[in-house]
Structure 1
Amino acid sequence: MGTTQLESVPEPKYWHLRTVLSEALDSEFAVGQVLPNERDLAARFGVARATLRQALEQLELEGRLQRRRGVGTTVAPPRVGVAVGSAQLGWPGAPGDAWQAEECERALAPAAVAGMLGVAKDEPVHVVRRTRVTGGQPVAADLVHIPASSVPDLTAIDAPSGPARARAVLRELCRTEFEGQDRSVELGSARADDARALDRLPGAPVLVVTTRYFGAGGTAAVSLATYRADTCRLTFGADGVEIHHTPERQAS
């Protein structure tokens, strides 16, 4: 590779570098190809490694690049579509739910979640962990927080732990009359547990979808679903929010 010097521009240098790198990805690299190391890239473009890292992080956020453990930074593959869900599906675990229940434990909810549920901060709730896979790729991890009052007839005799216990809790939740939901979306960083579930590095950009499920005159459950931000775009429709993986690229 030759040396490519950046022109003097009024915009931040990392942003201009992001544009130059994006063009290079389109013309010089194939999907899945590993990029040269940071030292070589910084030398090619005549920038400091800190500037290079900012540009790479921006391209990762836009879904152009992926950082993979033991591999390095690679060109991201085309995106595939995945819907967050529709209000018509009702409770988690209802027919049509695409999530896979994995585990259930009794634990304290985060303070914000406890406030939404209307439970005391020191009151344990059922926490169901779920995952979602599309095209063989993990795309989301979910924690559903359910207070004991939402599943009053639950017993631990037949399903004390594991996926069976998680499914039992969700089945019992579905017995409550569903009254609706609301949903919010915000950008966040992957925690250690979410990073492992999504095959990402801790701190990678994620989209956190918080859903409150209403039943029996109050909040019956709260879901905190973490989606890979490098592969997702949001669609707001009549049935709520959808997240899609798409082959479309953002304009440079």
Structure 2
Amino acid sequence: MGSTQLEPVPEPKYWHLKTVLSDALDSEFAVGEILPNERELAARFGVARATLRQALEQLELEGRLQRRRGVGTTVAPPRMGVAVTDPEHSWPGAPGDAWQPVDAAEQTPPGAVARLLDMDPATSLHTVRRTRKTRGQPVATEVLYVPAAGVPGLAADAPPTGPARAHAVLRELQRLRLEGQDQAVELGSARADDAKQLDRLPGSPVLVVTTRYFSGGRTAAVAVATYRADTCRLTFGDATAPAVQLLAG
């Protein structure tokens, strides 16, 4: 078989600009400093604003920049690693859990979650909403889906919504024997409600971690956690305990 010579592909203009901007961030700007507006930056580097936006978006994705409502684009602070996967594989809400319950209610699950739970998507279940913070800043949100059959001991007089109901569902869930769990990770875009919780713009890149909890030979609960993709790094430990690390600014 003959060989095929590939023609060199020129570096995209926005990618070269990203490198130049990255050097400028290191030498000219301090952590937390607000960058000049797009018009000024485009004029300084002699590029179109569309090219500049592409470079800025890439730097944001890499965690070098942060865009915040009412503030503008700032230089991101140093990152801090925070383990996401629980090495002991315990139920949500167990001692040492870093998540904070904020609300709970009964509602029908998304189709994908219903399939994971092998249930009719028209059937309502318990949903527990939780958040996670680092240094006082929200870094992740989560929705935990628990079928009613999985927590039969939930008191009938438990509050219909709110943190108290969330704690009640978590307590009942921990009465089950956890047989194992698995996780799937994918890149997604922040929905409006998640973006608001994470102080991001709707459509910003996020990392979605879906965890299935097994008990009694079936999927007893499903958690869908949304992390800021610009501050996340995936690491892997041994074969039985894959880990996800969050780099939180």
* Aligned counterpart, 2:42: 42
List structure 1 segments (4+ residues) > 2 angstroms apart after TM superposition. Answer: 158-161
Task: Answer with 26-35 or 88-97: which moved more.
Answer: 88-97
Instruction: Report what 1:6 is aligned to.
Output: none
Instruction: Give the alignment partner of residue 242 of structure 1, picking from 223, 241, 244.
Output: 244
TM norm structure 2: 0.92
* Amino acid across the alignment from 2:183: R
| 1:193 has 2:193 as partner | yes
CA distance in 2, matches of 1:27, 1:138: 29
Deviation at 1:199, TM superposition (A): 1.1
Q: Residue 87 and residue 124 in structure 1: after superposition, are their counterparts in 2 closer, same or farther (change >3 A)?
A: farther
Structure 1 portions without partners, runs of 5+: 1-8, 248-252
Give the residue type in structure 2 aligned to 1:92.
P
Normalised TM-score (structure 1): 0.91
Report the Cα distance in structure 2 between the residues aligned to 1:220 and 1:140, rounded to whole angstroms: 22
The 5 A counterparts of 1:124-135 are: 124-135=124-135
- The letter of the residue matching 1:107 is Q
**Which deviates more from structure 2 when the two are superposed, residues 83-92 or residues 202-211?**
83-92
Deviation string 1:39-94 (CA, Å, 9 cap, x unpaired) is: 11111111111111111000000000000100100000011121112241411111
- Measured after TM superposition, the shift of residue 242 of structure 1 is 2.1
Q: What is the alpha-carbon distance in structure 2 between the residues aligned to residue 241 and residue 152 of structure 1? A: 32
Question: For 2:26 and 2:126, how far apart are their aligned partners in 1?
Answer: 47
Aligned sequence identity (%): 69
More moved, 204-213 vs 148-157: 148-157
Preserved contact between residue 108 and residue 122 of structure 1 (Cα < 8 Å): yes
Q: 2:101 maps to what in 1?
A: 101
Q: Measure, in 2, the Cα distance between the counterparts of 1:117 and 1:77.
A: 40
Task: Answer yes or no: is 1:28 the counterpart of 2:36.
Answer: no
Distance 1:112 1:246, change over 3 A: closer
For the structure 1 residues 113 and 87, does the alpha-carbon distance in structure 2 shift closer, same or farther, using more than 3 Å as the test? Answer: farther
Pick which of 89-98 and 106-115 moved more.
Answer: 89-98
1:174 and 2:178 aligned: no
In the alignment, the residues of structure 2 paired with residue 192 and residue 136 of structure 1 have an alpha-carbon distance, to the nearest angstrom, of: 21
Pairwise CA RMSD of aligned residues?
Answer: 1.4
> Is the contact made by 2:105 and 2:160 (CA closer than 8 Å) also made in structure 1?
no
Please state how far the C-alpha of 1:126 moved relative to its aligned partner. 0.7
Q: State the alpha-carbon separation in 2 of the partners of residues 210 and 89 from structure 1.
A: 14
1:246 Cα deviation after fit = 6.8
